[in-house]
Structure 1
Amino acid sequence: MLLSINPDNPQKRLIEKVVQALDQGGLIIYPTDTFYGIGCDLFNKKSIKRIYQLKKRPLTKPFSFIGANLNDISLYAQVSSYAYRMMKRLLPGPYTFILEGTRLVPKLMLTKRRTVGIRVPDNKICLAIVQELGRPIISTSVNLDEPSIIHDTYSSLVEMVIDGGVI
């Protein structure tokens, strides 16, 4: 399903449709501030494994995930005072912070060193999805930036492609 969402003012009813797909274990393709990403609910192991298969990526290389804000990040990563000040200055934005994960993070998403990559992108659609869902989503790139091409390429592999314009 291709779903067009206004990038400047995401429509709540459409965001709710996306969240419903995530709640049901669906994979989505969504815009961030730097790329279109493939994602799913951080806590849906089956969906995460589907993304690993889709990307042909070994389970030993965890994906980053997206939080809604600094409070979200502090639930899933140990944030030092220094890191907090830096993130407060830089987020939302095009950065991934590598931090030690907390016990809330599924083991499948931790590196051998128990670290996680966390982002808070500067994209209203992406943030609206995470805020409405109430928990983080996986983030890995699709390596394409035109929504119609993404849809043609991935529509049979994911439940929903969100058109938020060209990145």
Structure 2
Amino acid sequence: MAQYFELHPDNPQPRLIKQAVALLQRGGVAAIPTDSSYALACRLDDRDAVELMRRIRQIDEKHHLTLLCRDLSELSSYAKVDNRQYRLLKAATPGAYTFLLEATKEVPRRVSHPQRKTIGLRVPDHRVLQALLEEHGAPLLATTFIPAGEDEPINDPGEIRARYEKVLAAVVDAGACNLQPTTVVDLTPMDGGDDPVVIREGRGSLETLGLAG
């Protein structure tokens, strides 16, 4: 049964943050708030938790998962980033953007895209999530919490608890999140000198990236 944590959105209680992270570190999957929508999250190196997360969403290994990082220095440990890519990342983080980049050897092959060897990465602008990442001391692997067979993210932590408490280890309630997903940008074309490709326009402004049409 999922433990339910009600956290203040601006000043999250350290005791509850520690308890929620302890459940993640013991192999649990948690529903957590982000600056775009609620997400499912687990430890990067926990095979069983990653598979459970995929089963809840009913997604396969070709669906890009995302590493939630505390800052750009942490992001660059898990993705290959050149100077052009770094300048764009610096302009957009923290924020509601997901970037597709080539994964480094720090990323287990089972969580990167099987053909492209890419991974989604982002630095979220959300105090509760940043507190969770700080307590964990490493990135969390995540996917937007869109119920199987539905098109929109689930945004009510009470509803998440009611529908998924038997499969989740924790529900972190910091109030309602935005329903608009992140803007997703593929930066891998920049490796060959091409421009980045916008995969999905979401909450993050394309003007910030210099990509607005």
Gaps of 5+ in 2: 146-152, 178-213
Give the Cα–Cα distance (whole angstroms) in 1 for the partners of residues 17 and 30 of structure 2.
12
Give the Cα–Cα distance (whole angstroms) in 2 for the partners of residues 148 and 61 of structure 1.
27
Give the Cα–Cα distance (whole angstroms) in 2 for the partners of residues 6 and 80 of structure 1.
38
Give the root-mean-square deviation of aligned CA atoms: 1.0
2:16 counterpart residue number: 14
Give the Cα–Cα distance (whole angstroms) in 1 for the partners of residues 111 and 141 of structure 2.
9
Once the two structures are TM-superposed, the CA of residue 158 in structure 1 deviates from its matched residue by: 0.1
Aligned residues: 167
TM-score of the superposed pair, with normalisation by structure 2: 0.76
* Aligned 1:37-116 pairs, distance under 5 A: 37-111=39-113, 112-116=115-119
Which sits farther off after the overlay, 53-62 or 122-131? 53-62
Give the Cα–Cα distance (whole angstroms) in 2 for the partners of residues 102 and 92 of structure 1.
21
Q: Which structure's CA Rg is the greater one?
A: 2
Once the two structures are TM-superposed, the CA of residue 139 in structure 1 deviates from its matched residue by: 1.6
TM-score of the superposed pair, with normalisation by structure 1: 0.96
Once the two structures are TM-superposed, the CA of residue 62 in structure 1 deviates from its matched residue by: 3.5
Of structures 1 and 2, the one scoring higher in RCO (CA 8 A, sep 6+) is 1
1:157 counterpart residue number: 167
> Percent identity among equivalent residues?
32
Query: For the Cα contact (< 8 Å) 1:130–1:136, is it kept in 2?
Result: yes
Q: Deviations over 1:64-95 (max 9, x none)?
A: 12111101101100111111111111111000
Give the residue type in structure 2 aligned to 1:6: H
Counterpart selection for 2:138 from 123, 126, 135: 135
Query: For the Cα contact (< 8 Å) 1:62–1:108, is it kept in 2?
Result: no
